[in-house]
Amino acid sequence: MKPAILMIGAVYLLGTLTAGIAAEPVKSSAPNILFILTDDQGYADLSCNGHPHLRTPHMDKIRNESVRLENFHVAPSCSPTRAGLQTGMHEFKSGVTHTKPGDRQQLSPERTTIGQLLQKQGYATALFNKWHLGGPSPDKRGYDLYLRTESPPPRPTMMYWDPTVFINNKPQGDPIQGFSPDILTDQLLKTMTEQVTADNSKPFCYFMWTVTPHTPVMAPGRYKERFVGKMTEQEAAYCGMVENIDDNVGRIMAKLHELGIDKETLVILMNDNGGTVGVELYNAGMRGTKTSVWPGGTRAFSYWRWPGTLKPRTEHALTGYVDVFPTLAEIAGAEIPQDIAAELDGYSLVDLLKSAGGAFPRDRMLFLHGARWESGFAEQHKHIQAAVRQGNHLAIRIDTCPCREGVCARGRAAQKGTIGPAVYTSTKESSAFHWSVTDGWELYDARKDPSCNSSLSAAMPELQQRLTASYEKWWDDVYPEMMKRGGDAPIPTQK
């Protein structure tokens, strides 16, 4: 086997590995892995999930050809979700408790990423665009290639226009005119083509982690025009961004067919947290948005497509973001070191993906927390945006405290019947619905009652007690680890 040589611009990637990790041959049956993760797109923001305005035929097609994990949950905001995806552990174990730059966004350097495991297994690894986990950067944490785009200021109007391409944090020539999601997709297609046509037998693992449709929302006119007059200008731009993502997903899927690797490639399509700008248009009946542990803040679409290996169907077992790490490790044939395996919160989905009756802990609990407290308020946030799930049941508690962060400020405003510093909601009624606080712990069947209007606390007290007791123990166990890894460290903007 010759070493893989990937040439992009003036950069030559020789399949270099992180220090101390030697490459090993990959089994010929190991698939390519293409993981598409969108940023701030809600579960409801697909036409296949009932959206009344969006047309997303390419993502819909992936859904129809996939194992559809319909009870899949992520953290309520992006950096925490990405930490869990990369490590298979709840983000608190890596000290990730915020999205703002600083120690609380940084993935603990001591944690092993899925990129490192697959790189050691002999995969050609790459991460495109959004890392959002501080330093060291992805090219030092298991990804041969870290390719991102960076647009010139000002951010409110130029965030997604005329970017410079960076490879492993080095700029590649002059800015390229155009919409950056399209340019990023061009780069992915070029990288994929070069990898597949090179004289080597390495499979690839590419994480296409978009920045869109994150705010500030903007899109080329051809994407916005059919929405104008049907919704607000912000919502029209947001919907245009989602349809642009869909077009680029279609380009990627066409390239897999063109290269003849469609059946050799596992495609995962997922969103990183709850809905944002579009929640007042449509939120599939769910209460909650990004940063909330109500269903609308954590439910994600999670579609796993592998033609000839995975039979398309719908699965309702409780699954989540921390399951991705052990699943990809098993698919790639990578052994998880015992010390890492002992700390994992996730379970491999392989048997479940292959069969509805596959081995999987159907009684597992998934602990969720909104985090994002003002530094110095970690202890007070034990019961602020706190949740535990088991099956279809959700035990949830949302208190407030005096801290200045949005999760508490919006809760206080909802209690007073005002809008306050709300984001994604524009009316008192909408804000009260999506940012509502609870009366202590409450219990819901989130599948039957996604708007969480009918509490089961009185009807099922034993279940609520069991779930909440498990949460209390989980918090007490994880809190010291989170604090040790900087989870309550000062945020530069809050000093």
- Domain of residue 422, residue span: 365-489
Residue 494 pLDDT: 58
The number of distinct structural domains making up the chain is 2
Give yes or no: residues 376 and 305 share one domain.
Answer: no
**Average of per-residue pLDDT across 309-331:** 98
Q: Which residues contact 471 (CB under 8 A, 6 or more apart)?
A: 367, 386, 387, 388, 395
Q: Which residue has the tokens 């009624």?
A: 429
Q: Is residue 292 part of a domain?
A: yes
Give the CA count within 13 Å in the CB-facing half-sphere of 67: 25
Residue 422 pLDDT: 76
Q: Is residue 370 part of a domain?
A: yes
Give yes or no: residues 275 and 407 share one domain.
Answer: no
Q: How confident is the model at residue 12 (pLDDT cuts 50, 70, 90)?
A: very low
Residue predicted with more confidence, 423 or 465? 465
Residue predicted with more confidence, 13 or 133? 133
Query: Which of the listed residues 329, 354, 379 is the one where a domain comes to its end?
Result: 354
Give yes or no: residues 435 and 458 share one domain.
Answer: yes
Q: Is residue 25 part of a domain?
A: no
Residue 423 pLDDT: 83
| pLDDT tens column, 222-257 | 999 999 999 999 999 999 999 999 999 999 999 999
Cis peptide before 216 (omega within 30 of 0): yes
Give yes or no: residues 255 and 190 share one domain.
Answer: yes
CA distance 51 to 255: 27
Mean pLDDT of all residues belonging to the chain: 93
CB 369 within 8 A of CB 92: yes
Give yes or no: residues 165 and 300 share one domain.
Answer: yes
Give the CA count within 13 Å in the CB-facing half-sphere of 82: 30
Identify the CATH number of the domain in which residue 441 sits. Answer: 3.30.1120.10
| pLDDT tens column, 350-379 | 999 999 999 999 999 999 999 999 999 999
**Average of per-residue pLDDT across 284-296:** 98
Identify the CATH number of the domain in which residue 203 sits. Answer: 3.40.720.10
Instruction: Read off the tokens for 175.
Output: 């800015």
Is 5 a residue whose pLDDT tops 80? no
Residue 231 pLDDT: 97
Give yes or no: residues 78 and 129 share one domain.
Answer: yes
**Average of per-residue pLDDT across 310-338:** 98
| pLDDT tens column, 187-219 | 999 999 999 998 668 999 999 999 999 999 999
Of 274, 279, 278, 296, nearest in space to 287 by CA: 296
Give yes or no: residues 235 and 289 share one domain.
Answer: yes
